[in-house]
Amino acid sequence: MIDFAFVVDIVVLALLLVTAVAIARMKDLFAIVMLSGIYGLLSAAFFVSLDAVDVAFTEAAVGAGISPLLFLSVLKLTGRYENGSHSHAIFALVLVVVTGLALVVGTLDMPAFGDPDSPASSHVAVRYLEESGREIDIPNVVTSVLASYRGYDTFGEAVVIFTAAVGVLSLLGLLSGPREGGESPVRMGDHLVLRLVSEMLIPLILLFALYVQFHGEYGPGGGFQAGVIFAAAIILHSMLFGLQPAQRVARPPVLRALAALGVLVYGSVGVVSMLSGGTFLDYSVLSEDPVSGQHLGIIVIELGVGVTVASTMILIFFAFTSRSDAAHPETSR
């Protein structure tokens, strides 16, 4: 039963392992961050081979996009090399080996990998696959579950993102206007080729973000991915032309308000459905016809997620890159 998928599986897993070990052993943080981006991309590839296209899309955007970008902006402030100090190496090794063995023991009674009759695939999930076509009537089952059956989890997810935005702002502050040291870590706007390509690319990226936002019901995508892509366009612009032009378009106080509004929009759908006689986030009561009510609800909440995610990502990027190297003495008592 050695088929093509099986080989791909083995190869990607092997690459993941090599990358992880390389990351653990290296000391050059710049290289490590690059490798962690590769790790994210490899995971995304593996998710595709496991038929999880939505997850692959998101992991590619986050693991190979946003998170290396954040790491790099911080590395600029903190320095590139670690001094390689280890603490309690023996203790850690024992702990990790014990934990790992416990996990291996835990897998021994698990259903076989890929088993179509495993409990995971034959209980709750069956309803989603068989009934969502009738109950919600959109092709992408992941979107149906995410936005409706488990829509409350997704509300929580939007709140988590919002919490991160508030937390980062409370730590790094909100810049309301241009200020000294507000340069991005890499400024490449002087390169003609880069400049021309990106000037053509940025509108296309924005367009693609809108497509992903409103097309999530049919193919992979949705509010989160769209928000990340939208943010990527603004971030790309600020990397090429500096922070100030980008901040004139996307002003931090406005972004902060938008991050809050996205969550409020999501929650308001829940409130409206309560007022219309349903439970919180029951979209069926939003319209005469339950199925069109579901469609309406999903579109609005995905919009809320998209707005919160895009504004949060841009805000966080601004907060990191605009921070100058000058030491900010802490008040200590």
Partner 1 sequence: MILDLYNYWVVIALMMVGFYSVIVRGNLIKKLIGLNIFQTSVFIFYISVGKVDGGTAPILVDGVTLYSNPLPHVLILTAIVVGIATLALALALVVRIKDAYGTVEEEEIREIDEQ
Partner 2 sequence: MVHLPVLQVVIPLMAAPALLLLNRPWQSWLLTCLVTITAFAISVSLLGTVYSTGTISYELGGWEPPWGIEYRIDLLSAYVLLIVSGVAALVAVASRQGLDADVATDKQPTLYVLYCLCLAGLLGIVATGDLFNVFVFLEISSLSTYALIAMGPHRRALWASYQYLVVGTIGATFLLIGIGFIYSLTGTLNMQDIAARLPLVDADRTVHTAFAFIVVGVCLKLALFPLHFWLPNAYTYAPSIVTAFLAATSTKVAVYLLIRLHYSIFGANFALDVLPLNLLFLILGLAGVFAASLVAVQQPNVKRLFAYSSIAQIGYMIVGLGLGTVIGLQATLLHLFNHALMKGALFLAIAGVVYRVGGSDLAHFAGLGRLMPWTMAAIVIGGLSLIGVPLTVGFISKWYLVLGAIEAGLWPVAGLVLIASVLALFYVWRIVEVAYFESPTALTESAREAPLGMLLATWVLVGANIYFGIDTELTRQTSELAAQHLMGGQP
Binding to partner 2, residues 24-43 (CB under 8 A): none
- Cβ neighbours for 315, distance < 8 A, ≥ 6 positions apart: 165, 168, 169, 174, 252, 255, 256, 259
Q: Of residues 106, 180, 190, 325, which one binds partner 2 by CB under 8 A?
A: 106
Q: Does residue 261 touch partner 2 according to CB under 8 A?
A: yes
- Kindly identify the residues of this chain, within the stretch 91-110, that bind partner 1 according to CB under 8 A: 92-93, 95-97, 99-100, 103-104, 107-108, 110
CB of 176 to partner 2, least distance (A): 12
Is residue 124 a contact point for partner 2 (CB under 8 A)?
Answer: yes
Report how far apart, in Å, the C-alpha atoms of 178 and of each of 2, 243, 252 are.
60, 8, 11
Q: Give the residue, chosen from 169, 212, 305, 307, that forms a contact with partner 2 under the rule CB under 8 A.
A: 169
Per-residue contact track with partner 1, 130 to 169, x per CB under 8 A? Answer: --xx-----xxxx-xxx---x--xx-xx--xx-xx--xx-
Closer of 146 and 243 to partner 1 (Cβ): 146
Please answer whether residues 72 and 44 qualify as being in contact, where contact means their C-beta atoms are separated by less than 8 angstroms.
no
CB of 128 to partner 2, least distance (A): 7
Is 274 a binder of partner 2 (CB under 8 A)?
yes
130 binds partner 2 (CB under 8 A): no
Nearest to partner 2 of 208, 216 (CB atom) = 216
d(CA 52, CA 66): 20
251 interacts with partner 2 by CB under 8 A: no
Name which of 249 and 271 has its Cβ closer to partner 2: 271
Does 7 participate in binding partner 1 (rule CB under 8 A)?
A: no
Q: Is 23 in the site for partner 1 (CB under 8 A)?
A: yes
Residues contacting residue 148 through CB under 8 Å, at least 6 positions apart: 136, 283, 294, 297, 298
> Binds 86, which of partner 2, partner 1, none (CB < 5 to 8 A, cut-off by type)?
partner 1
- Provide the minimum distance between the beta carbon of 266 and partner 1 in the complex, in angstroms, as a whole number: 13
Using a 10 angstrom Cβ sphere, with 0-12 exposed, 13-18 middle and 19 or more buried, the burial of residue 275 is exposed
83 binds partner 1 (CB under 8 A): yes
Which two structure tokens, joined as six digits, stand for 49? 């081979």
Q: Which long-range contacts (CB under 8 A, 24 or more apart) does 216-221 make?
A: 216/140, 216/143, 216/302, 217/138, 217/139, 217/140, 217/143, 217/295, 217/298, 218/138, 218/139, 218/140, 219/53, 219/140, 220/53, 220/54, 220/56, 220/57, 220/140, 220/142, 221/54, 221/57
Residue 20 partner contact from partner 2, partner 1, none using kind-dependent CB cut-offs of 5 to 8 Å: partner 1
At residue 232's C-alpha, the angle toward residues 231 and 233, to 5°, is 90
Q: Which residue has the tokens 């579901």?
A: 294
Sites of contact with partner 2 (CB under 8 A): 102-103, 105-111, 118-125, 127-128, 148-153, 156-157, 159-160, 162-164, 166-167, 169-171, 256-257, 259-261, 263-264, 267, 270-271, 273-274, 278-285, 330-333
